[in-house]
Amino acid sequence: MLVDAAAFIEPATPIVSLSKGIEEGSLMRMTEVTADVLPDHDRTHIGVLTGPNLAREIAEGQPAAAVIAMADEDLAARLQAVFHGPTFRVYTNTDVIGAESAGALKNVMAIGAGIAHGMGFGMNSVATFITRALFELTRLGTALGGKPLTFAGLAGMGDLIATCMSEQSRNHRVGFGIGRGKTVEEVVSEMNMVAEGVKSTKGILSIAHREGIEMPIAEQVGRVLYEGATADEILGNLMGRAAGSETEGLVT
């Protein structure tokens, strides 16, 4: 635990978070939690390593890439050299907010994508879903201070595609079970791992409400998780929405 190690960590020590989520109650990102636990730490030395990094594929040595986001660009470059390898390509980014918020938000969307897969929909449906999910990620993430291009990169689109499409994704598996007609409780009880999106969706919706950002996909995922809505019900709600401009409401 970071709290237990706090007394032994020098203020300039680089800290790289590998966690993707929002803390319940505080609604803080993981680097914000780190800064809260270590109030005297150099915040430019707190960053995140994120991207389309499904653990099993990384362990098998399959080609993959990630982004290390840290405000201190020189330090990010030094850490890049540490993590970079023959099958693991690492890029740098100074946009910690964007990279980290994308990692938290995509878990919510992966549940929705899993529902679509569980209901048996094809690639037209899935492509539509992922594209609109990316829109929601970008809209909320930029409202929080992230940069739009970050969401088009590995931390945003890359991680979103991997998590929404892979059966290895815990959040996708939750959604898939729901799409097959199971309850949230039934799906979670069958899993031996934690699906972050089940808890973090509530926090994401709270942040969206605080920022005045409309997130229809996340809202419907929340209805399934917390209000007992069925997959058919939320599909009807999403498809029945009035259609407008594709880019309306996007912060640039």
Catalytic residues: 106
Helix (H) / strand (E) element for 81: namely helix 73-83
Distance CA 68, CA 85 (A): 14
Helix (H) / strand (E) element for 234: namely helix 231-239
Angle at alpha carbon of residue 54, lines to 50 and 59, rounded to 5° = 105
Query: Sign of torsion, CA 158 163 164 166?
Result: positive
Q: Which residue has the tokens 């069958």?
A: 190
Q: At what angle do helices 96-118 and 216-227 cross, to 10 degrees?
A: 60
Q: Residue 109 has which token pair?
A: 């969307």
SS3 content of the chain, % helix, strand, coil (to 5): 60, 10, 30
